[in-house]
């Protein structure tokens, strides 16, 4: 089975492919000729995931899925949330986003956070949503060199390492 992932993010594509069972091949939207940047204008993870999946599905006619993921920090009332990728403004930068979060978290004892991902799957006759949450805590500095986004400061519950210190296989669990 072949699915189109409505994203150009190679890191996400790699993580998703590693998490799926054998026999399911995931290709990026770029692999099927969709090279436009897809706006994320709905203000919700659910809406943005559908917006991207539907855009690519309508261009290609191929079964398509997309995600939108946000880092939700308890002490920041759920921020950066849906704005995680653009939290520090333009130009987009993982480093600048992390720097802003760490500055806002200075002196905070409540380091609880979660990654929340919403996936949307679109075909001709149906649209389905799936949600996943990984709870954890924020570190006080960046640790690790792998991963992307906020991985270098996020410690999933039950692990002293950050996502950026883990292999793809370890991150699956």
Annotated catalytic residues are 68
CA angle 151, 141, 68 (to 5 degrees): 25
How far apart are the C-alpha atoms of 132 and 107, rounded to whole Å?
Answer: 29
Sign of the alpha-carbon torsion through 54, 57, 61, 62: negative
Q: Collect all residues with Cβ–Cβ distance below 8 Å to 91 and sequence separation of at least 6.
A: none
Asked if residue 87 lies in contact with residue 50, where contact means CB atoms within 8 angstroms, the answer is no
Gap between the terminal Cα atoms of the chain = 24
């Amino acid at each position: 089975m072949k699915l189109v992932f409505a994203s150009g993010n190679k890191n996400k594509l790699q993580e998703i492919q590693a998490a799926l069972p054998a026999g399911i091949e995931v290709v990026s939207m770029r692999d099927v000729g969709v090279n436009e940047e897809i706006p994320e204008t709905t203000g919700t993870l659910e809406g943005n995931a559908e917006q991207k999946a539907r855009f690519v599905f309508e261009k290609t006619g191929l079964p398509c899925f997309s995600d939108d993921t946000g880092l939700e920090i308890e002490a920041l009332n759920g921020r950066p949330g849906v704005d995680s990728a653009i939290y520090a403004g333009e130009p987009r930068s993982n480093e600048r986003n992390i720097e802003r979060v760490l500055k806002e978290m200075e002196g905070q004892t409540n380091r609880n956070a979660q990654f929340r991902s919403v996936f949307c799957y679109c075909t001709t006759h149906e649209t389905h949503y799936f949600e996943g949450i990984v709870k954890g805590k924020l570190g006080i500095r960046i640790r690790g060199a792998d991963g992307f986004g906020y991985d270098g400061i996020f410690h999933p519950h039950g692990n002293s390492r950050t996502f950026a210190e883990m292999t793809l296989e370890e991150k699956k669990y």
